[in-house]
Amino acid sequence: MSFKDLIIGQSAQTQTVITDELIQLFAQASGDVNPIHLDEVFAKTTPFGKRIAHGMLVASFISSAIANKLPGHGTVYRTQSLKFKQPAFIGDTVTTTIEIKEMVERTHTVTLKTKCCNQDGKILVLGEAVVIVE
């Protein structure tokens, strides 16, 4: 979408299922091999009692939603704030929601509210993104 096609309040959603394969690939790509993500025996000794997905893996779903849904291809990130509220676990379905909060025509910047929730509606990640749209 171009800047002129956007309106405040417009939103989009994506859904992603957390799998062991996704966690393994993210660990490989990021270099984050914390055993809380990869080792079931270790993870059982943590307050979560089982493996959790990388918080940044879950946050990356925001980038995907922005790039592929709203505003879409050609969008360039300026900033992203994140607050991690709850962990995501293998088998969770993460719904990512982005909503246009503010637009500045002069600079073609768009501020988006960003949120990731699990299948029970629990908020996993909250944030705000600022992007540039052609």
Question: Does domain 3-132 sit in CATH 3.10.129.10?
Answer: yes
Domains in the chain: boundaries? 3-132
User: How many angstroms separate the CA atoms of 72 and 29, rounded?
Assistant: 24
Provide the pLDDT for residue 91: 98
For the chain, what is the largest distance between any 2 Cα atoms, rounded to a whole number of angstroms?
Answer: 54
Residue type, 128: E
Provide the pLDDT for residue 134: 87
Token readout for 114 is 């960003």
pLDDT tens per residue, range 73-97: 999 999 999 999 999 999 999 999 9
Residue type, 79: T
* Placement of tokens 């980038």 in the chain: 63
Given a cut of 50, the residues of the chain with pLDDT beneath it are none
Reported pTM: 0.95
